[in-house]
């Protein structure tokens, strides 16, 4: 799993040039007419790249798919790489995040198929239940707009705060109308939230970062998102116009296969939930 390339923002520009010059068959909208090369997919390490690598090692060859997986530890670089053609597709995000990203950046990324949900959870190294949080406790939350709203919605769903009506996927701490525990919020980049657990009273952590930090969402979270009617399922995405790439269609079919569903259930034991 870890032998796939891990790209940093510094390497991304060079990678875009290399792919643009040497792999025209793998460069987004510019390659829509040439699908002879490998399908290059950007993915967060856990669980996205793990799922893709399972497909690469066990299913892709039989399906006639040449799949290349590129791990991005910083998920914010994946949509730019997909938009500029450095990669053909990405697998890391949910619909509210994508809607917000396209709106703010004028980009043209579209979903192809929803694969799984990573339940967002509240974790703590200091208390054993959400009710045990003291007055004035500090809670770390992701600082990107969609995941911060999602974190606040989680806390609201469990009675820790109340949000004003209509705050939805744009909620921020300023939308809190009731805060009986007088919770204070520390806004951090999403990958930093599990690392903050020794410094704050609790943290709301995305499922993939929880797993990377050896947290078990199904058992360790003080409160956890419900999968029922949840809009935050993660999907395979491409630049608009590339949905009909036959390589993309093959991968979409494999991502929603019975084999992948079993892999998710066996490997993640409820910490990642198949959405199909």
pLDDT, residue 226, reads: 82
Distance CA 31, CA 23 (A): 9
- For 90-111, write each residue's pLDDT tens digit: 999 999 899 999 999 999 999 9
Residue whose pair of structure tokens reads 């699908």 in the numeric block: 35
Give the SS3 label for residue 264.
helix
**Would you call 110 helix, strand, or coil by DSSP?**
strand
| Position 212 pLDDT exceeds 50 | yes
Percent of the chain with pLDDT over 90: 75
What does the pLDDT read at residue 13? 38
CA proximity to 177, closest of 160, 193, 158: 160
Q: How far apart are CA 38 and CA 2, in angstroms?
A: 19
Q: Which residues does 226 contact at the CB level (< 8 Å), separation at least 6?
A: 119, 157
What average pLDDT does the chain have?
A: 88
Residue of higher predicted confidence among 209 and 176? 176
Q: Give pLDDT, residue 69.
A: 98
pTM of the model: 0.71
Backbone dihedral region for residue 62 (phi beyond 0: left; psi -120 to 50: alpha; all else: beta):
alpha
Structure tokens at 187: 């806004």
pLDDT tens digits for range 234-245: 999 999 999 999
All domains in the chain, ordered by first residue: 5-119+231-274 (3.40.190.10), 121-224 (3.40.190.10)
Please give the Cα distance from 183 to 127 (Å, whole number): 14
């Amino acid at each position: 799993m870890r032998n796939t390339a891990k790209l940093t923002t510094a390497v991304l520009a060079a990678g875009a040039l290399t792919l643009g010059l040497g792999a025209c068959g793998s460069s987004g909208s510019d390659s829509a007419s040439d699908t002879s090369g490998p399908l290059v997919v950007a993915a967060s390490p856990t669980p996205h790249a793990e799922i893709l690598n399972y497909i690469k090692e066990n299913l892709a060859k039989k399906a006639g798919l040449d799949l290349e997986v590129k791990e991005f530890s910083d998920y914010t670089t994946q949509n730019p790489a997909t938009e500029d053609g450095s990669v053909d597709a990405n697998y890391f995000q949910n619909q509210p995040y994508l809607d917000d990203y396209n709106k703010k950046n004028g980009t043209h990324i579209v979903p192809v198929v929803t694969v799984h949900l990573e339940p967002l959870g509240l974790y703590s190294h200091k208390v054993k239940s959400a009710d045990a949080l003291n007055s004035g406790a500090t809670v770390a939350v992701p600082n990107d707009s969609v995941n911060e709203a999602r974190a606040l919605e989680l806390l609201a769903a469990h009675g820790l705060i109340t949000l004003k009506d209509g705050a939805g996927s744009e909620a921020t701490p300023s939308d809190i109308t009731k805060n009986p525990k007088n919770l204070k919020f520390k806004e951090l980049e999403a990958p930093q939230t599990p690392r903050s657990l020794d410094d704050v009273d609790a943290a709301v952590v995305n499922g993939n970062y929880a797993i990377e930090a050896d947290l078990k969402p199904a058992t360790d979270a003080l409160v956890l998102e419900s999968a029922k009617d949840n809009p935050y399922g993660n999907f395979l995405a491409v630049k608009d116009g590339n949905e009909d790439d036959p390589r993309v269609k093959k991968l979409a079919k494999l991502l929603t296969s019975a084999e992948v569903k079993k892999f998710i259930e066996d490997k993640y034991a409820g910490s990642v939930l198949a959405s199909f």
